[in-house]
Amino acid sequence: MDSELNYIANKLKKGDEETYVFLFRTYYVPLCAYARRYVGRKEIAEEIVSETFFNIWRNRTSLEIHSSLKAYLFQAVCNNSLNYLRKLKNEELLEDFFSNTATENIGLAATSLETPFESLLLKDLSETITKSVNLLPPQQQAVFRLKRYENKKISEIAEMMGLSVKTVEMHLSRALASLRKNLEAHLPGFLLSLFLKNIF
């Protein structure tokens, strides 16, 4: 790292705000263009670069720059862009996980798993959801399974179980409330919403 960049990096590590602003103004636009090559969308690229700068400032005292400051910034944006793509892939995978309502037990879709981590993740989710559904009282469980996993209409469930539509709706509402309470500590909000969406 040359002497000028070494000087700038040292000032940054000491918390010099003017240096931070200088770096932001100098590299923000080219870094956004660079991130966009990975993630495609302008607003996502800007978010990644902004987060990168925020993390650099937050962790400034422990920065380890072995080449040049410019190279460090571009490498950090590259890493964060790739992390975004990995997260996006996992969220798409998890959406697929909940997309098939006809599969036995928890409605798993046939998903192509590429890593042991992804396989373990889906297995853990499957076990967590199955346990929560199994804890429901018998009629709530039966109503929920028919609606969520067999995609039956409420009127069809009422006919199959010999219940009124209002009674089925009551069991379903109680099942949803219990599942939300039991699962919210184990599943991120977006996963819980995916699992419980379109029930009514």
* Structural domain boundaries, residue 31: 3-95
Q: Nearest Cα to 43, choosing from 29, 30, 32?
A: 32
**Same domain for 76 and 20:** yes
Q: Which two tokens stand for residue 196?
A: 């419980």
10 plus 63 within the same structural domain:
yes
Residue at a domain's end among 71, 95, 119: 95
Q: For residue range 61-108, what is the model confidence (pLDDT) as tens digits?
A: 777 776 677 888 888 898 888 888 777 666 666 566 555 433 433 444
Of 49, 122, 124, residue with least CA distance to 91: 122
DSSP label of 102: S
The CATH number of whichever domain residue 27 belongs to comes to 1.10.1740.10
Q: What is the pLDDT of residue 57?
A: 83
Instruction: Return the number of other C-beta atoms located less than 10 Å from residue 191's C-beta.
Output: 19
CATH code for position 112:
1.10.10.10
Question: How many separate domains does the chain show?
Answer: 2
Note whether 10 and 73 are same-domain residues.
yes
pLDDT for 183:
80
3-state secondary structure string across 96-117: HHCCCCCCCCCCCCCCCCCCHH
Each residue's pLDDT tens digit in the chain (200 positions)?
Answer: 455 556 777 777 777 788 788 888 888 999 999 888 887 878 888 888 998 888 888 877 777 776 677 888 888 898 888 888 777 666 666 566 555 433 433 444 444 444 554 455 556 667 777 888 888 988 898 898 888 877 889 999 999 888 899 999 999 999 988 888 888 776 666 666 766 765 65
